[in-house]
Amino acid sequence: MSALKHKAVAVALLAISASALSVPATAQSVEEFYKSHPITVLVGYSPGGGYDTHVRGVMRYFNRHIPGSPNIVVQNMTGAGSLVATNHLYNLAAKDGSVIGMVRAPVLEPLTGTSASNFDATKFNWIGSGMTEFTVCALLGAPTVKTFADATKTPITLAGSGPGSDDDMISKMLIKLLGLKAKVVSGYPGGNEMQLAVERGEVDGRCGWSFTSIKLIKPEWISEKKLKFLASLSMERWPELPDTPSIMEIAQTDEQKSILKVAILSADLGRPFMAPPGVPADRVEALRAAFIKTIQDPEYVAEVTKRKETPTLVDGKRAEAIIKDLFSTPPEVLKQAKTIVNEK
């Protein structure tokens, strides 16, 4: 064989080898990928709170329904009501299906729209939510304040976790729109720290407070009637709190109701899980399918029911639709909401 032919054969073999080496990265099945890749789950809140407890509960069952049964590691990344974790997930996390997150910032983006938001919520790969969120405005302190009307006359203090968080956003809306006489003490890393702040008397209570988290972390505050529920942040009265008015009953004008409605509807996504943009479609579908099976897993249902939680499945496609609906809110309504939320 001539030298020229030897060279041609060598080049051909190198090309074949390179092609073979590239195949596993692009042609791996979902099961092959997850057999060798653990999943990191970013939680935008601090350890020990309601969100963190919920995520860890879901993750105990999630991997059994994913092809390849990957190990799962939960990582807390706190800051600005989950905005830090959201920006990381969107911009820095691996886009191969090995990193997902449970954060609220993308759901609230239509209302906040702060300069610190460095993501497009509509481009996340939404995996699903296992719980819709019902929140309240409630106090442990301020003994003379019994009702929402009282809180428009007597000053109270409320905990918040930073710009873009449910607590800060809702509190600002109630102050601006409905005359709540409150000061927001912001900057707590997460729900656990805010609950401790309420317990220690650093603040009187919270608005935008997850009722599920209260039931999970401090059920005696409900059973012993230590908490005063000023309003449920819902379209109608909540069955578990029949004597507490919904915020829509307190709102007086159409403008007030239209702005508050956007905040309330964002709760439909509850505690959503999502993957970054760019994750291969087959892995997204596998994660979505596994999530549905997890929330319907009899053992998982039994566990959360024992904790007095109610598993409520919002699948990935429904979550995606809710986000699109939120971002189609009339611009004038969003402008008013953003002005309120972003006021210093």
Each residue of 26-73: pLDDT tens digit?
578 999 999 999 999 999 988 988 789 889 999 999 999 999 999 999
**Residues 220 and 309 reside in one and the same domain:** no
Task: Count how many residues are written for the chain.
Answer: 344
55 and 157 share one domain: no
Q: Give the whole-angstrom CA distance, residue 306 versus residue 282.
A: 34
Q: What percent of the chain has pLDDT over 90?
A: 58
Q: How far apart are CA 58 and CA 50, in angstroms?
A: 12
Q: State residue 26's pLDDT score.
A: 52
Number of domains the chain contains: 2
Listing DSSP states for 214-244 in one string gives: HHHH-HHHHHTT-SEEEEEESSS--TT-TTS
- Residue 103 shares a structural domain with residue 172: no
- Give the burial class of 9: count Cβ atoms within 10 A of its Cβ; 0-12 exposed, 13-18 middle, 19 or more buried: exposed
Domain boundary among 223, 250, 266: 266
Please choose, from the candidates 152, 205, 216, the residue with its C-alpha nearest in 3D space to the C-alpha of residue 180.
152
> Residue 303: is it exposed, middle or buried by C-beta count within 10 angstroms (0-12/13-18/19+)?
middle
- Average pLDDT value for residue range 282-309: 93
For residue 212, give the 3-state DSSP assignment.
helix
Would 95 be classed as within a structural domain? Answer: yes
143-185 pLDDT tens trace:
999 999 999 999 999 999 877 677 888 899 999 999 999 999 9
Both 256 and 176 in one domain: the answer is yes
Residues in Cβ contact with 26 at an 8 Å cutoff, skipping those fewer than 6 apart? none
In a shared domain, residues 262 and 184: yes
Distances (CA, A) of 141 to 34, 145, 155: 49, 8, 11
Provide mean pLDDT across the span 68-94: 93
Provide the mean pLDDT of the chain: 87
- Same domain assignment for residues 75 and 143: no
* pLDDT value of residue 59: 97
Mean pLDDT of 117-141: 91
> What's 115's domain CATH number?
3.40.190.150
**Structural domain containing residue 252:** 135-266
Order of strands, sheet of 228-233, starting from the edge strand that comes earlier in the sequence: 182-185, 156-159, 205-210, 135-139, 228-233
Specify if 342 maps to a domain. no
Query: At 22, is the pLDDT very low, low, confident or very high (cuts 50, 70, 90)?
Result: very low
Q: Are residues 209 and 293 in the same domain?
A: no
Q: Report d(CA 162, CA 188) in Å as an integer.
A: 7
Cβ neighbours of 96 (radius 10 Å): 16
CATH number of the domain enclosing 199: 3.40.190.10
Kindly report the CA angle at 328 between 340 and 282, in degrees rounded to 5? 120
Q: Please check whether residues 145 and 87 belong to one and the same domain.
A: no
Token representation of residue 259: 């702005």
Q: Is residue 10 part of a domain?
A: no
Q: What is the pLDDT of residue 318?
A: 92
Q: Where is the domain boundary, 242, 266, 290?
A: 266
Would 341 be classed as within a structural domain?
no
Cα gap 124→126, rounded to integer Å: 6
In a domain, 55, yes or no: yes
Same domain flag for 258 and 153: yes
pTM of the predicted model as reported, rounded to 2 decimal places: 0.71
pLDDT of residue 114: 61
Residue 224's pLDDT band, with cuts at 50, 70 and 90, is: very high
Q: What is the largest CA-CA distance in the chain?
A: 99
- The sign of the dihedral angle between the CA atoms of 203, 205, 210, 216 is positive
Q: What is the DSSP letter of 335?
A: H
What pLDDT is attached to residue 17?
A: 42
Last residue of a domain, one of 266, 281, 311: 266
* Over residues 116-134, mean pLDDT: 89
